[in-house]
């Protein structure tokens, strides 16, 4: 129950950080779709550790293997198993962690729940679990683009107190990928890189905010009550490691406006194409897309593993201290960008199929 997501385009991820493999099964993918393996690999490469000095130095090729669901480059409509082997697990780095609970990690909570945990590498609580999400998200992205022209784009908006005022609608993937920190504002990107490098040297870590923009989403996707489009996006984002906040459109800042200031007035052009003059709604009204760009922002806390000594308890619940070891990201945000895009794409393709099922033939 913990490990699947989606109603019609349904994924189940599997694998521990230091187990044999991690991956995903996709059930419900439309048939006869020419899936590009290269595009899946490209997304995994954006997520991969070791891609820059800003992230974990674990060495993983993250080569994708497709074990089922395709033939001659086309999807069969049957479950697609995407798998990546774990190549550079170093369990010895985790000997101390097997005896002590790392503060702000999932270790303690796992043991309270299950009475057992895969101590090495954080098990399923590791960011390595997101390999399956990103691989499945790459499939979703291809479907969204080919069928609907939908583009999903995320970028780093802030690191600690460094924040770019860039307009999400103006950002391109090239701008995002032009620096390893994945902030499309190149001046701000340099400052962010310096700040992260400094945090790493101090054995400390940083958090920040990622913005997401989904363009060309047709009006009508989403559901009006519990499965509101922004509710499902919120869930998908909060399910990512280290994510602690979500806002849609104007979000928390929108609470400072009055209703008349906040209203997104409608205008129609000569072709009766309707848009809104502002987009405080973030492209979603009543849980349903309104044809404007979908905009949301996610807060990621600073990485829990730091190289300073912290107070904690051991597995016998005796007080002790612990100091971080192992290879960790001083800041998860650069690698979280493709994760955020993947989660958004998974939510959107699921709602696209749901919409067609209920309303497609009317």
The residues facing 70 across adjacent strands are: 75
Which residue in the set 37, 166, 299, 315 belongs to the binding site for a copy of itself (CB under 8 A)?
299
d(CA 300, CA 351): 25
Which residue in the set 178, 313, 325, 327 belongs to the binding site for a copy of itself (CB under 8 A)?
313
Residues 27-86 that bind a copy of itself (CB under 8 A): 27-33, 65, 67-69, 71, 74-81, 83
Residues 77-136 that bind a copy of itself (CB under 8 A): 77-81, 83, 101, 103-110, 112-118, 123-125, 129
Which residue in the set 305, 326, 336, 339 belongs to the binding site for a copy of itself (CB under 8 A)?
305
Considering beta carbons, is residue 179 or 305 the nearer one to a copy of itself? 305
Q: Does 325 interact with a copy of itself (rule: CB under 8 A)?
A: no
Taking CA atoms, 149 is separated from 133, 143, 145, 214, 217, in Å, by: 21, 9, 4, 10, 8
Q: Does 246 interact with a copy of itself (rule: CB under 8 A)?
A: yes
CB neighbours of residue 266 within 10 Å: 10
Considering beta carbons, is residue 173 or 203 the nearer one to a copy of itself? 203
Taking CA atoms, 295 is separated from 86, 167, 245, 256, in Å, by: 35, 11, 14, 18
Nearest distance in Å: CB 170, a copy of itself? 23
Considering beta carbons, is residue 57 or 278 the nearer one to a copy of itself? 278
Give the residue carrying structure tokens 């790392």. Answer: 102
Q: Does 268 interact with a copy of itself (rule: CB under 8 A)?
A: yes
Which residue in the set 1, 38, 174, 187 belongs to the binding site for a copy of itself (CB under 8 A)?
1
Which residue in the set 145, 147, 215, 325 belongs to the binding site for a copy of itself (CB under 8 A)?
147
Q: Does 272 interact with a copy of itself (rule: CB under 8 A)?
A: yes
Q: At what angle do helices 333-359 and 130-148 cross, to 10 degrees?
A: 50
Q: Does 171 interact with a copy of itself (rule: CB under 8 A)?
A: no
The per-residue b/e assignment along 210-226, b for 16 or more CB within 10 angstroms, e otherwise, is bbbbbeebeeebbbeee
């Amino acid at each position: 129950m913990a490990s699947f997501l989606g109603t019609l385009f349904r994924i189940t991820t599997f694998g521990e950080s230091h187990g044999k493999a991690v991956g995903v099964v996709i059930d419900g993918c439309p048939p006869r779709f020419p899936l590009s393996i290269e595009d899946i690999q490209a997304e995994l490469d954006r997520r991969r550790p070791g891609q820059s000095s800003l992230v974990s130095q674990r060495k993983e090729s993250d080569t994708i293997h497709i074990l089922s669901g395709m033939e001659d480059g086309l999807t069969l409509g049957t479950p697609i198993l995407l798998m990546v082997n774990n190549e550079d697990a170093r369990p010895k780095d985790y000997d101390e962690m097997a005896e002590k609970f790392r503060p702000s990690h999932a270790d303690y909570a796992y043991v309270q729940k299950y009475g057992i945990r895969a101590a090495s590498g954080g098990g399923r609580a590791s960011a390595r679990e997101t390999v399956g999400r990103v691989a499945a998200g790459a499939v979703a992205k291809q479907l969204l683009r080919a069928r609907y022209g939908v583009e999903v784009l995320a970028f780093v908006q802030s690191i600690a107190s460094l924040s770019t005022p860039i307009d999400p609608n103006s950002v391109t993937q090239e701008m995002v990928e032009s620096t390893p920190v994945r902030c499309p504002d190149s001046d701000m990107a340099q400052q962010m890189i310096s700040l992260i490098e400094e945090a790493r040297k101090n054995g400390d870590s940083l958090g920040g905010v990622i913005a997401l923009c989904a363009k060309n989403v047709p009006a009508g996707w989403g559901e009006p009550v519990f499965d509101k489009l922004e509710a499902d996006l919120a869930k998908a984002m909060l399910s990512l490691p280290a994510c602690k906040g979500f806002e849609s459109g104007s979000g928390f800042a929108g609470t400072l406006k009055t209703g008349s200031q906040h209203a997104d007035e409608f205008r129609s052009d000569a072709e009766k194409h309707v848009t809104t003059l502002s987009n405080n709604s973030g492209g979603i009204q009543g849980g349903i897309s309104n044809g404007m760009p979908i905009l949301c922002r996610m807060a990621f806390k600073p990485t829990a593993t730091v190289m300073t000594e912290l107070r904690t308890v051991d597995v016998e619940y005796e007080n002790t201290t612990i100091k971080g070891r192992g290879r960790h990201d001083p800041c998860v945000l650069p690698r979280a960008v493709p994760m955020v895009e993947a989660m958004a794409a998974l939510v959107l393709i699921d709602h696209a199929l749901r919409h067609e099922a209920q309303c497609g033939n009317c």
